[in-house]
Amino acid sequence: MPSDRTRTAILAAAERLYADRGFGDVTLRDIVAAADVNLAAVNYHFGSKDELIAELFVTRSLALNRERLSELRAAEEVRGGRAPIEAVLRALVGPTLRGCLGPDNQRSTAARFMIRVSIESVPPIRRIRNREIDHLRKFVAAMARSLPGCSDVELYWGLHFALAMAQQTVRDSERLTKLSDGKCDVDDVDDIIERVVSVAVMALAGAWC
Amino acid sequence: MPSDRTRTAILAAAERLYADRGFGDVTLRDIVAAADVNLAAVNYHFGSKDELIAELFVTRSLALNRERLSELRAAEEVRGGRAPIEAVLRALVGPTLRGCLGPDNQRSTAARFMIRVSIESVPPIRRIRNREIDHLRKFVAAMARSLPGCSDVELYWGLHFALAMAQQTVRDSERLTKLSDGKCDVDDVDDIIERVVSVAVMALAGAWC
DNA sequence: AATAGTTTCATACAAGTGTTTGAATTGCAA
DNA sequence: TTGCAATTCAAACACTTGTATGAAACTATT
């Protein structure tokens, strides 16, 4: 069994740097400096920079999906597989929003890293990202259970808009804060989640589901 | 007066390349090859790569703002400075959506370039982008005229969500297409505009304006 | 046609990138 | 301890990047 110390130090440093500054301007030398390991360690342990990014991404991607699905399952268990649509949408957007917004000390590097992924879409990740579709399909299915009779197309648009609002809020919370002179509180995560969810529900309901 | 041929050739080639492939992997050598000019021409005419990007951005940014505002003004003229909220939002999201989606031959490089800007946020642009806030404020003001009595906070959220849905639809139209097996038609621009606008209106109305 | 100013060009430069190498060091089993 | 594999390390490599240089070509005014 290899002594993982170097490996994990690299992963942690890389994730934090990517989350903070994006893929564009984080070099291998930045990472090894932050992890306090030798330059060659990355290639020794991961093969290449791209493979490091890919490993980071698949790990976090699986974790996020797991978190969403466990929230979804918890909501559906309450009433035998028929959760209210609000709960389904909360399970979809909640994990990301909670991890990325709110007081600094509560933000997770993992969530912020995933947002970077959704923003920058660097080559090694683009190749893997297709699996996301399969994951989202599960939520479409859950939404269909919540709103039987609602047409598929409207479900897709509803999910799409829900994710859009959540991601853009995370991505550009600064602009919203500036525009509103701080009157829109981007640290009140629960409020934001409810806003996103309720608008998405209105979108679905307004489309005569 | 300088012979602009080289200058404009560079601008056109750069805009197209940036729109297509993003800032990340477009090099000066790519640009000059596409423009069929010498490598040194960029530095001669623009000073540096960053200044080229900046010029491209301010030009397009001003044009987009102009387009939005003229649509807004046209809508407000009809009924003496009190356009329906739908028209205000249409003026906000319409130009971008029309330029970025729809049949290939109708898409404008300019709009696709601006979307890249909103995605990647490269340093030379980040420094300029603050002016966007002032521009958006004009739309908040117009929204307030349309919905007197609606609280500012709700207006900000409404505008934020409208832009979020529009931008994400452009940014990730591919995912939506795949997810829905083509059932969500991202080429039907008018339908998309009406969807975004109507959801945003519901968001505003649902907040007891 | 001669000249001065502008623009083009091939080429070189310095800095930064990810990766490789091969020797040194470590950790651990026999 | 000895031996062997795994790991670390400093250094160098090959390559790409944006930028700078100085000579050549062009343009237009005199």
Asked whether the predicted pLDDT for residue B157 surpasses 90, the reply is yes
Residue A62 has pLDDT above 70, yes or no: yes
pLDDT number for residue B208: 60
The CATH number of the domain covering residues in B1-47: 1.10.10.60
Q: Does domain A60-206 have CATH number 1.10.8.640?
A: no
Contact residues on chain B for A119, CB-CB shorter than 8 A = 119-120
pLDDT at residue A2 is higher than 90: no
pLDDT of residue B79: 81
Does the CB of A151 have a partner CB in chain B at under 8 Å? no
Higher pLDDT, B65 or A124: B65
Return d(Cα B107, Cα A84) in angstroms, integer.
Answer: 40
C-alpha span between B122 and A133 (Å, rounded): 28
Using the C1' atom of nucleotide D17, identify the protein residue whose alpha carbon is closest: B27
**A136 near B CB under 8 A:** yes
pLDDT at B175: 94
Provide the mean pLDDT of chain A.
93
**What is the DSSP-derived secondary structure letter of residue A3?**
-
pLDDT value at residue A21 = 92
Of chain A, the percentage scoring pLDDT greater than 90 comes to 80
CA distance linking residue A119 with residue B170, whole number of Å: 13
CB B169 within 8 A of CB B176: yes
Task: Report d(CA A14, CA A28) in Å as an integer.
Answer: 9
pLDDT at B113: 95
Q: What is the pLDDT of residues B72-118, one digit of tens each?
A: 999 999 888 789 999 999 999 999 999 999 888 788 999 999 989 98
Tens of pLDDT, residues B159-200: 999 999 999 999 999 999 999 999 999 999 999 999 999 999
Q: Is strand D within 7 Å of residue A127 (CB)?
A: no
Least confident of A65-74, A140-149, A179-188, B2-11: B2-11
- Give the mean pLDDT of A27-48: 97
Q: How many CB atoms lie within 10 A of CB B91?
A: 23
B1 touching A (Cβ < 8 Å): no
CB of A42 within 7 Å of some strand C atom: yes
Interface contact B199-A198, CB threshold 8 A: no
pLDDT at A1 (0 to 100): 42
Q: Would the pLDDT of B129 be above 60? A: yes
Residue A184 CB contacts under 8 Å (≥ 6 apart), including other chains: A176, A177, B153, B156, B157, B160
- Note the pLDDT of residue A120: 83
Taking Cα atoms as reference points, which of A105, A19, A2, A104 lies closest to residue A60?
A19
- What number of other Cβ atoms are within 10 A of residue B55's Cβ? 17
CATH number given to B61-206: 1.10.357.10
pLDDT (tens digit per residue) in A138-149:
999 999 999 998
Q: In chain A, what is the greatest distance between 2 CA atoms, to the nearest angstrom?
A: 60
Q: Is the CB of A37 under 7 A from strand D?
A: yes
pLDDT over 90 at B130, yes or no: no
Give pLDDT tens digits for B39-54.
999 999 999 999 999 9
Q: What is the pLDDT of residue A67?
A: 97
Of B59, B88, B77, residue with least CA distance to B159 = B88
> Averaged over A20-41, what is the pLDDT?
96
Decide which of B80 and A52 is more confident: A52
* d(CA A202, nearest CA chain B) in Å: 7
How far does A144 lie from chain B, in Å, by closest CA?
13
What is the rounded average pLDDT of the residues A51-58?
A: 96
B96 CB near a chain A CB, below 8 Å?
Answer: no
B24 touches strand C (CB under 7 A): no
Sign of CA dihedral B87, B88, B91, B93: negative
For chain B, the structural domain boundaries read: 1-47, 61-206
Nearest to A156 among B132, B176, B198 (CB): B176
3-state secondary structure of A1: coil
C-alpha span between A139 and A69 (Å, rounded): 8
